[in-house]
Amino acid sequence: MNRRVRVGVNGYGVIGKRVADAVSLQDDMELVGVADVVHDYRIRVAVERGYPVYASDPASRPEMEAAGIPVTGTLDDLLAGTEIVVDCTPKSVGAKNRERYRAAGVKAVWQGGEKHEVAGYSFVAQVNYAGALGLDSARVVSCNTTALCRVLGALHARGWVKRARAILLRRATDPWESHLTGVINTVIPEMKVPSHQGPDLQTVIPGLDITTLAGVGAHNLSHLHFAMVETTRPVSVDELRGALWDAPRIAFVRASEGVAALNSVIELMRDLRRPRGDLWEVAVWEDALAADEREVYLTYQVHNEAIVVPENIDCIRALTGLAANAERSIEKTNAALGVTNAFLPASTRPIPRLARTEGAHA
Amino acid sequence: MNRRVRVGVNGYGVIGKRVADAVSLQDDMELVGVADVVHDYRIRVAVERGYPVYASDPASRPEMEAAGIPVTGTLDDLLAGTEIVVDCTPKSVGAKNRERYRAAGVKAVWQGGEKHEVAGYSFVAQVNYAGALGLDSARVVSCNTTALCRVLGALHARGWVKRARAILLRRATDPWESHLTGVINTVIPEMKVPSHQGPDLQTVIPGLDITTLAGVGAHNLSHLHFAMVETTRPVSVDELRGALWDAPRIAFVRASEGVAALNSVIELMRDLRRPRGDLWEVAVWEDALAADEREVYLTYQVHNEAIVVPENIDCIRALTGLAANAERSIEKTNAALGVTNAFLPASTRPIPRLARTEGAHA
């Protein structure tokens, strides 16, 4: 029988609840429980699913119990029973948990809201899985950075990227809290130029020359990236298409098939019976791929709620040594969750594989 | 006494109504009348303002009169009494009027929705006023192209632009029709890459190397541009700021003063008692200006309803020879409308003028 790694999830929010579901779908993992401090509908769903619930903060336990939540124990109790914890607490809270995880002798996966230094290793499965093998901790980079690493990393791996530029139009807020922090009928440009995602990508792919600018739009269905990539030689649209098709967790959508905007992609995910309508892949508009003698141009959608979920699963495997290489872990995670490179395979003609004629950097 | 040019406006929509108001504020122009085909609140406002109303299409005259609109005559009657017509009819309708204007011996100003070839000359006052002097017709380029020409043209004039790239996040719809064509909670990326605005800019500034990508956001308060400009030598933020400060119709806004987003800029215009809350200038976020050894980065707002209005006035002056050069016309138009380079001059410290040490291209 397979070895099963005992996993705890600390923080049952937008990412934590998805990671918990994903862990429970892996045949080489066991979800020991989830910890949080709230006692409203969010954590009640965990109870409905049969996940043991722990109090992240002992002070919140009485309130949770008074609200009828069966609390199995505190965070320390959860850590005592696990081999690895996925920290999905809010930004910068995670860093404060580091000593606690260390003292408990538990490996840790952090999210992109924490600094690179908290974990010491920034992780995107298809780029640098091998380097995380057996480490005590790693950080799954943020949604935007994950997408940049997958897409631009696929071009970089072929030695094509001379210099990349991307504009990131971020979603205003997550759906669950859009009644609290809605952004209506405006766009908020980010004053910090370049935005942090470019340097963050370089924690995963140090050699990739990139600058990013960002803004927040009046929508909460995913981010949208416009990337302009100077190439080391003229790269055709066919080559570009082939390189993306060959990379994991990138899937094409087409305006010519009615997938015209962010909402159409999410509607497609709902129609495909994806849990919560989640899009784990980077959705690249195939009909907006373009190339000239100097550059290639890409437009793609990044589902901030979901894209890092398979990365967390792979990161657990890397830290605990459950899978010896990226291909094996990615394949296993993709199969368990349903991650694909073709959303509508019955009617999608496959794209011929490109020969890997050029030296791969990754 | 000044010579006064007799001006007609054909099409009293988003642009036409603003051009009519702007013409009526110039001491060297006389608004002979406005022509349209509708009979609802839009044209009734023209009647309230005392503008003579004409029927663009004789077939629409009976309906207009039945609705109580006092119709002075047909478009031919309007043309007979004018020296120059500003065509503000919907995209591609304008081109069909060309022969009619020519037959009437009337000069014509077209809008950016028409092709360059319709007018034979594409116009942005601060870039190429002189070339339009005495021509029979010209085209005031679109809002986005006007903004690109003003901002990137200011850098190009100093010989700084090696290559420019811009992402244009367009407004979903104009406010007057947002109940008809709203875009809610999504972004629609444009599949045509590069988008048309780059080549369109080159009808005004042939030597400027630019590529643009575009998308439509879930907002109707202006467009937002993110520009990344490779420079011919390292250009500092101070130099960048100085070059923009020196150029007409570009004004800074600052997130540090609470002007954080598209809506804040428009609210400022409303507070400043601008007619219809119009922003004629390009509003550049000063705190988002950035530069490195290779590039400069700019984020700015383009009010699609208003930015071309002063351009139309200057274009009238160029075609009719009312002002001998751009500076004179721009100054006159700016004074009449209230176009500025500092929205809050009482509390804005001026930026030192840059020496024009480098050869100006324009």
Is residue A148 within 8 Å of residue A166, measured between CB atoms?
yes
A263 touches B: beta carbon within 8 Å: yes
Q: Helices B41-48 and B14-24 sit at what angle, rounded to 10 degrees?
A: 0
Query: What pLDDT sits at residue B180?
Result: 86
Q: What is the mean pLDDT of the segment spanning A204-233? A: 96
For position B355, what pLDDT does the model report?
67
B345 backbone dihedrals φ, ψ, rounded to 5°? -65, -30
Cβ atoms of A20 and A88 within 8 Å: the answer is: no
Of A193, A255, A299, the CB nearest to B290: A193
| pTM, full prediction | 0.91
- For residue B191, list chain A residues with Cβ-Cβ distance below 8 A: 255-256, 285, 287-288
How far apart CA A304 and CA A86 sit, in angstroms, is 17
- Whole-number pLDDT of residue A361: 42
Contact state of A290 with B193 under an 8 Å Cβ cutoff: yes
pLDDT at position A153, please?
A: 95
Mean pLDDT, chain A, as a whole number?
94
Given a contact cutoff of 8 angstroms between Cβ atoms, the answer to whether B228 and B148 are in contact is: no
Closest CA to A238 of A297, A291, A300: A291
User: Nearest CA of chain B to the CA of A256: how many Å?
Assistant: 9
The confidence score (pLDDT) of residue B217 equals 96
pLDDT given at position A360: 45
| pLDDT, mean of residues A56-84 | 97
Does A219 contact B186 at a Cβ distance shorter than 8 Å?
Answer: yes
* Residue B285 touches partner A, C-beta closer than 8 Å: yes
User: Do A193 and B297 make contact, defined as CB atoms within 8 angstroms?
Assistant: yes
> B2 pLDDT band (50/70/90 cuts)?
confident
Mean pLDDT of all residues in A301-319: 97
pLDDT of residue A204: 95
Amino acid making up residue A235: V
Rounded to a whole number of angstroms, the CA Rg of chain B reads 20
Residues of B in contact with A215 (CB under 8 A): 169, 224, 226, 299
The two three-digit tokens of residue B291, written as one number: 């530069």
Q: Indicate the pLDDT class of residue A218, thresholds 50, 70 and 90.
A: very high
Nearest CA-CA distance, residue B303 and chain A, Å:
12
- Name the residue among A146, A122, A266, A133 with its Cα closest to residue A204: A122
CB of A213 less than 8 A from some CB of B: yes
Q: What is the pLDDT of residues A242-253, one digit of tens each?
A: 999 999 999 999
Task: Please tell me if residue B209 touches chain A, with a CB cutoff of 8 Å.
Answer: no
pLDDT for residue A10 is more than 90? yes
Average pLDDT of the segment spanning B55-62? 96
Residues of A in contact with B215 (CB under 8 A): 169, 224, 226, 299
DSSP character string of B201-252: HHTT-TT--EEEEEEE-S--S-EEEEEEEEESS---HHHHHHHHHHSTTEEE
**How does pLDDT run across B327-359, given as a tens digit for each residue?**
999 999 999 999 999 999 888 777 777 765 554
Chain B CB within 8 Å of residue A267 CB:
no
Closest approach of A166 to chain B, Cα-based (Å) = 9
Average pLDDT for residues A144-155, to the nearest whole number?
96
Confidence label for B360 from pLDDT (cuts 50, 70 and 90):
very low
Q: What is the pLDDT of residue B327?
A: 97
To 5 degrees, how large is the angle CA A343–CA A346–CA A349? 85
Catalytic residue list contains A143: yes
What mean pLDDT do residues A229-239 have? Answer: 97
What is the per-residue pLDDT for A182? 82
* Residues of B belonging to the active site: 143
* Whole-number Å distance between alpha carbons of B26 and B353: 29
For B185, which of A211, A220, A226 is closest by C-beta distance? A220
- What phi and psi, each to the nearest 5 degrees, are found at residue A290? -150, 160
pLDDT for B197-224, tens place per residue?
A: 999 999 999 999 999 999 999 999 999 9
| Inter-chain CB proximity B189 and A219 less than 8 Å | no
Q: Taking CB atoms and an 8 Å limit, are A169 and B255 in contact across chains?
A: no
Mean pLDDT of A322-338: 97
Beta strands in chain A (DSSP E): 5-10, 29-36, 53-55, 71-74, 84-87, 107-110, 122-123, 137-140, 161-170, 188-189, 210-216, 223-231, 250-253, 282-285, 290-291, 295-302
Task: Give me the residue from B193, B221, B287 closest to A191, CB to CB.
Answer: B287
Nearest by CB to B226, from A167, A218, A264: name it: A167
Closest-CA distance, B260 to chain A, in angstroms, reads 6
Report the complex ipTM: 0.88
Output the six-digit token pair for A187.
């766009």
Q: How far apart are CA B208 and CA B191, in angstroms?
A: 23
Which chain A residues are closer than 8 Å to B220 by Cβ?
A: 185
Contact B194 A290 (CB under 8 A): yes
CB neighbour list of residue B102: distance below 8 Å, 6 or more residues apart: B136
Residue A358 has pLDDT above 60, yes or no: no
pLDDT tens for residues B6-40?
A: 999 999 999 999 999 999 999 999 999 999 999 99
Chain A residues inside the 8 Å CB shell of B185: 218-221, 263
Long-range CB contact pairs, A263-271, < 8 A, 24+: A263/A221, A263/B185, A263/B186, A264/B186, A265/A222, A265/A301, A266/A221, A266/A222, A266/A303, A268/A343, A269/A303
Q: Measuring CA to CA, how many Å separate B298 from each of A191, B129, B151?
A: 10, 25, 9
Q: What is the mean pLDDT of chain B?
A: 94
Q: What is the pLDDT of residue B354?
A: 74
* Dist CA B133 CA A345 (whole Å): 60
Going edge to edge, which strands form the sheet with B5-10? B71-74, B53-55, B29-36, B5-10, B84-87, B107-110, B137-140, B122-123
Q: What is the mean pLDDT of residues B84-88?
A: 98
Phi, psi of A72 (to 5 degrees): -75, -30
Report the residue from A183, A189, A290 with minimal CB separation from B285: A189
Query: A285 and chain B: CB distance < 8 Å anywhere?
Result: yes
- pLDDT level of residue A36 (50, 70, 90 thresholds): very high
Of A267-271, A276-280, B176-180, B289-293, the poorest mean pLDDT is in B176-180
Which candidate from B169, B185, B261 shows the least CB-CB separation from A169? B169
Digit-coded pLDDT (tens) for A91-128: 989 999 999 999 999 999 999 999 999 999 999 999 99
Q: Give the per-residue pLDDT at A1.
A: 53
Q: What percent of chain B has a predicted confidence (pLDDT) above 90? A: 90
Report the alpha-carbon distance of residue B278 to residue B303 in Å, rounded.
Answer: 7
Contact state of A193 with B299 under an 8 Å Cβ cutoff: yes
Q: Which residue of B has its CA nearest to A219?
A: B185
Q: Provide the percentage of residues in chain A whose pLDDT is more than 90.
A: 90
- Report the residue of A178, A191, A195, A224 to disrupt the B interface, i.e. the one with the largest count of B CBs within 10 Å: A191
Chain-centroid distance, C-alpha A260: 23
Cβ of B219 within 8 Å of Cβ of A218? The answer is: yes
